[in-house]
Structure 1
Amino acid sequence: MAELGDRLRNIRKRRGLTQIELADRSGVSVATIRAVEQGAQERVRTETARRLAVALRVETSALIVTPDAEEPAATDVELWAEVRRALEGSYAADDSSEPPTVAGVAQTFSEAKPLFRRGRFSELAPMLVPLLRDADHLVSAAPSGDTSARSLRSRIRQMVGWQMVLSWQFDAADTALRLALDDAPDLRAAVPLMDAECWRYIRQGDLAKARDTATRWADDLEPRRITRASRDELAGWGLMLQRVSTTAVRDNRPGEAADALTFAKMAATGIRYGEHDSKDGLLHTFGPVTVAMLEAENAMVADRPDVTLAIGERLEGVKYPLPWPWNRHRLDVAAAYAATGRPADALAVLHQIRRDLPEWLVKQRYARDIMAGMIDKRRTLTPEMRELADFVGVPY
């Protein structure tokens, strides 16, 4: 397989462009293009690869060779160490005199969900080890034909999988999601797992795998008659269409992204009222607001911050049930403010996210990118900018 530099140079030459002309068309610096082609820089961010792909009229995945992923923070590796071991069946013996029950474990899991959704990870981690241990016990003790314990364990493992993707621990995420899929009782329950799997691929920069997975599942989940489909069926189909769209726009497939978005809007219209919150998913609600946030995200990827801001203003004040996706949308709004020369507004949005989900925000490379971009445009920084840059971990 050709390395990134070889691919970039070969495609550029086939398009009849010099390095300077490619830089002009893409907005990527000549220095970066030269470093990549000479092998001094072996990988680029997915966003940079997309800009080059647009200028060269190829898919982004045609350029990406090395996955675009961060190393997990040492603090996250330490925080989730016991959870990773418990996932593999290694945990201390239970010294409780009473065996766990499905009702008891389900109740504890319901208490863990708000911690997960609110990004209170330091409180969540200690709860997951006994949950995994007790779920394993329930499954091993379950009578033949009783799937309730396996279904519950699938949702617990799903929570671990999402958490491992968020903290860039992809090997553990793969284990958690694979085991959760094995426990999933039906296709509907598997949808959130495939959504997490696609998110993992996107975070790693493996757009081809993300797109293939999302497309396959969207095809399998498409209702035979949309007018008679249940809210659960429409939400599952819509969620996978969202992943098709968001992956396609990153892979410089604008037509495919637009088509998937159109079908997602159709599914959202079929929900009829409000946002449908899936009982099987932890971060999964679907409806018109969810699709509008996707449209704002796609616009930001496609360098249309004006569209992102217009949608953001329309959604301002909306009561959305899930903090993670809502604040991910607000990051798009902050990025759009920064891109249109409104750094004060961008900072205001970032500060609001920090107040709402501080532990979640520090794990967002997107937040670091927004801050780094604003820092690069200024000769001096205000105390507020310096403090926020330190908080989200902008490198020096």
Structure 2
Amino acid sequence: MSALGENVRKHRRLAGLTQEQLAYDAGLAPSTVAKLEQGGNVRIETLHILARALHVKTSQLMASDTPEPVRGEDPTRVGLAELRSALTPPLGITDSGSERPDEEPNLPALLDVIRAGSAAYDSDNFGSVAGKMPETIRDANSAVAYFDNGEEYTQALSARAEAYLLGGRYLTQVRQYDLAYHALSGAIQDARAVQDMNTAGYAVVIMSWLLLRQGRFDDAERAAIETADHLEPRISKAPPERLAVWGWLALQAAAASVRNNRPGESTDARRIAESAAAALGRHPNTRHRFGRFDTAVAGMKGLEDELISENGDPFRVIDESTGKARFSDRAMKAARIAETDKEWNRHRLTVATAYIKVGEHDKALDRLTAVDYANPQWLRHQRMAQDVMAAIVQQRKRRLTAEMRAMANHLGVLG
């Protein structure tokens, strides 16, 4: 029996339940519980459902265990070799740190390159980001090595913090979590060194996202909420960047809490996010570096959490997102939100998940198709999209349509 299976069995017995009773309470097949307790693996989402039925935190069911042996090569390892070398250069017993370059770095030009990379990432041009990141990281390291102190050294550290943050965002998106953790740690350290707490705070937002993807719910919630508490602004005087970072931290804390079977804490965190969004909406100038954050984003994220909570209602998610409702495609277009907007498209995946839950497979596919039209590169990296398509393949009783087969192949669900 694996450590995971032993944990589930222990908590089931403490609750006085048989495998069949636990399966019934969780809405799962008895074979799923039996397989898990015998050493099988299940998805994080299934663990969350079991934890809810057992009235424990999801993290209590998870434990360290001997990992399965790796079968085959990681297809992204070679492609990331240059970026890995830039972020984690080899170390020996001699001091071979970054050598001071002969020519003085052009710090404004370096910052322009980094922010152009951020714009490319926000536009889902992942190929451009991947190709330029190694040189950008090396240039940032060289700039820090060139300046010993003074204003230029501070500017170099600030630029490197943004470069590391971009690397961490990209690497988390493509699920290279250990390397992303290294980049984000560097971003937080450099930003703190120059007292750029907005950049440091947003790096914690991405760190929390990374931890959430790894199933480290306690860590994700703690990192986000502790940082939000530290950065809590005076709402009447806070600039847009600080409000946005504070709000994103609260949303990350809410997402971690609800997945960890802590609905009360999730509700409290969402209230903080809504306060930040409302304050930002009253600000005369909402421009900032860290992406769109407003009342619509906070509301859409709340609906995403709705599907995970114990009393989540997929029909409410659908009703709030169709026709003339506040989170419908029509409302987003009326608000002049770009079709490529990640938060809108993430919400479309939430609605697709809701349609799966009520058995409307064709409508779920329509949502995937809409996202694919706007953000094809982004969609291929979304686990929620793969889950939706896998559910269509598994649940559909009739033959898959040509469109369904094409989307399943596109997302790597078939074959």
Is the pair's TM-score, using the shorter chain for normalization, greater than 0.5?
A: yes
* Structure 1 segments unaligned to the other structure (5+ residues): none
Number of the residue aligned with 1:179: 186
Per-residue CA distance 1:320-339 (angstroms, 9 max, x = gap):
46733332222111111222
Number of the residue aligned with 1:231: 240
1:288 equivalent to 2:286? Answer no
Asked whether the 8 Å contact 2:104–2:146 carries over to 1, the reply is no
Helix, strand or coil for the counterpart of 2:304? helix
1:203 paired residue among 196, 200, 213: 213
Number of the residue aligned with 2:371: 353
**Residue type of the partner of 1:165?**
T
Any residues of structure 2 matched to 1:69-80 within 5 Å, and which? Answer: 74-80=74-80
Offset at 1:49?
Answer: 0.8
Offset at 1:159?
Answer: 0.9
How far apart in 2 are the matches of 1:66 and 1:188?
A: 34
1:166 equivalent to 2:173? Answer yes
Asked whether the 8 Å contact 1:235–1:276 carries over to 2, the reply is no
How far apart in 2 are the matches of 1:112 and 1:187?
A: 21
**Residue type of the partner of 2:369?**
H
How far apart in 1 are the matches of 2:237 and 2:6?
A: 52
Helix, strand or coil for the counterpart of 1:174? helix
Number of the residue aligned with 2:401: 382
How far apart in 1 are the matches of 2:64 and 2:317?
A: 30
How far apart in 1 are the matches of 2:275 and 2:129?
A: 37
Number of the residue aligned with 1:364: 382
Asked whether the 8 Å contact 1:89–1:133 carries over to 2, the reply is no
Offset at 1:97?
Answer: 11
**Residue type of the partner of 1:169?**
Q
1:132 equivalent to 2:137? Answer yes
**Residue type of the partner of 1:109?**
I
How far apart in 2 are the matches of 1:395 and 1:25?
A: 31
2:265 paired residue among 234, 256, 266: 256
Helix, strand or coil for the counterpart of 2:77? helix
What is the Cα-based RMSD across aligned positions, in Å? 2.7
Asked whether the 8 Å contact 1:231–1:276 carries over to 2, the reply is yes
Per-residue CA distance 1:236-275 (angstroms, 9 max, x = gap):
2211111111111101111111111112111211113489
Offset at 1:226?
Answer: 3.1
Helix, strand or coil for the counterpart of 2:181? helix
How far apart in 1 are the matches of 2:22 and 2:113?
A: 56
Asked whether the 8 Å contact 2:353–2:388 carries over to 1, the reply is yes
Number of the residue aligned with 2:307: 300
1:394 equivalent to 2:413? Answer yes
How far apart in 1 are the matches of 2:55 and 2:86?
A: 47
Offset at 1:232?
Answer: 2.9
Identity of aligned residues (%): 32
**Residue type of the partner of 2:364?**
A
Helix, strand or coil for the counterpart of 2:25? helix
**Residue type of the partner of 1:57?**
H
Offset at 1:48?
Answer: 0.5
Number of the residue aligned with 1:84: 84
Number of the residue aligned with 1:310: 319
How far apart in 1 are the matches of 2:201 and 2:337?
A: 21
**Residue type of the partner of 2:268?**
D
1:157 equivalent to 2:167? Answer no
Asked whether the 8 Å contact 2:240–2:287 carries over to 1, the reply is no
Alpha-carbon spacing, 1:381–1:73, altered in 2? closer, same or farther (3 Å) = farther
How far apart in 1 are the matches of 2:413 and 2:120?
A: 26
**Residue type of the partner of 2:288?**
S
- TM-score of the two chains, using structure 2 as the length reference: 0.85
Higher alpha-carbon deviation: 43-52 or 75-84: 75-84
Any residues of structure 2 matched to 1:325-340 within 5 Å, and which? Answer: 325-340=343-358
1:8 equivalent to 2:17? Answer no
Alpha-carbon spacing, 1:236–1:110, altered in 2? closer, same or farther (3 Å) = closer
Any residues of structure 2 matched to 1:234-249 within 5 Å, and which? Answer: 234-249=243-258
Alpha-carbon spacing, 1:323–1:98, altered in 2? closer, same or farther (3 Å) = farther
Offset at 1:360?
Answer: 1.8
Helix, strand or coil for the counterpart of 1:119? coil
**Residue type of the partner of 1:383?**
A
Asked whether the 8 Å contact 2:315–2:354 carries over to 1, the reply is yes
Any residues of structure 2 matched to 1:55-70 within 5 Å, and which? Answer: 55-65=53-63
Per-residue CA distance 1:140-165 (angstroms, 9 max, x = gap):
22352221111111111111111111
Per-residue CA distance 1:1-52 (angstroms, 9 max, x = gap):
x82212211211222221111111112221110011122x1x4222101111
